[in-house]
Amino acid sequence: MWKNRNKCNLVYLLIFYYIELLYNKMVHQKHYLIVDSTDRSTLSNSSSDFIVELPRVYHHIVRVNLLSYTVSNSIYTIDSRNDQLKFYEDIGFSYTTISLTHGIYNGSTLATHIASVMTTNTANYYTYVGAYSSTTLKMTFTATGGDFHFDFTNSNNSHLQMGFDNNSALASASSQVSPNVIRLDNPYCLLQSNLGNHLRSTSDSVSCSFMLQLPSSGSSETFTLNKTYDFDNDINMNVNQIEIRLKDINNKTLNFNGSDSTFLFELIER
């Protein structure tokens, strides 16, 4: 009798085990997608704003995890958003607006480049020297030939990259020191997608799916995420394409200058 009872218990355990396995498979079936920006459709705008069409439809997706991603930080320090610099020379009572060369800079190379372009375009034979301090993280610009000042009231100016306040016109002097510290690389970006955008900025004006850490400027890196970045969708989703847009906190699409990225998503089905 005890043998039969033990056999029954074992059978019940096995039945329960297989029922649980079947239930988990039915309720929590997982799909893993490697989304590469090189596979983007012709409807895409760029390698940082793209659509990837999937070979099948994934039904009733209730949870999406971003497990890892590989990205190259090829965002230019100076581009069309911040390449204009206006300065005033006291001797000639004249303003000059220059265009900075697009590219990746550190503090020293940017200060040197700005001073060089100013010297080339001076209207009154000034000579400029630019320097960056790794101690104070600030820039200093010095003029030989007379006093000058920067004017950051024009659009697309480089005040942030130089450590100055926007919409400011400074008092003239032979030397100008940036009042703010400088951070030239982009430490993170926001990933907006069609898989749900549950993260919001404090102003509630910008939303995204994930906040991504970026490698240092000019380098590539693979990042593995922890569970902090998981989120649940509150409705069932049928997914037949992945839309990804990499943007900044001001909701502007970041220009990665053609470099591609790869994302590993986990889609969990109800």
Q: Which amino acid is at 263?
A: F
Residue labelled with tokens 């090189």? 38
Q: What is the pLDDT of residue 140?
A: 98
Q: What is the pLDDT of residue 24?
A: 52
Strand partners, 266: 32, 65
Q: How far apart are CA 203 and CA 198, in angstroms?
A: 14
Q: What is the pLDDT of residue 147?
A: 97
Spell out the SS3 assignment of 197-261: CCEECCCCCCEECEEEECCCCCCEEEEECCHHHCEEEEEEEEEEEEEEEEECCCCCECCCCCCCC
Helix (H, G, I), strand (E, B) or coil at 116: helix
Structure tokens at 6: 């033990």
Q: What is the pLDDT of residue 2?
A: 45
Q: What is the pLDDT of residue 6?
A: 52
Q: What is the pLDDT of residue 78?
A: 96
* Torsion from C-alpha of 218, 220, 224, 230, nearest 10 degrees: 60
pTM above 0.85, yes or no: no
Helix (H, G, I), strand (E, B) or coil at 182: coil
Q: What is the pLDDT of residue 249?
A: 86
pLDDT tens, the chain, 270 aa long:
545 555 555 555 556 555 555 555 555 789 999 999 999 999 999 999 999 999 999 998 888 888 899 999 999 999 998 999 999 999 988 899 999 999 999 999 999 999 999 999 999 999 999 999 999 999 999 999 999 999 999 999 999 999 999 987 789 999 999 999 998 988 889 999 998 877 777 776 788 888 899 999 889 999 987 544 445 555 678 999 999 999 998 899 999 999 999 999 999 887
**Angular region, 184: left φ>0, alpha ψ -120 to 50, beta rest:** alpha
Q: What is the pLDDT of residue 68?
A: 92
**Listed residue (187, 191, 168, 190) closest to 178, CA to CA:** 168
Q: Which CATH class is domain 30-75+186-269?
A: mainly beta
Structure tokens at 94: 């004249």
> CA 158 from chain center: how many Å?
19
Q: What is the pLDDT of residue 19?
A: 59
**Listed residue (199, 200, 210) closest to 35, CA to CA:** 210
Q: How far apart are CA 22 and CA 223, in angstroms?
A: 33
> CA 152 from chain center: how many Å?
25
The number of residues in the chain equals 270
Residue ranges, comma separated, of all CATH 2.60.120 domains in the chain are 30-75+186-269
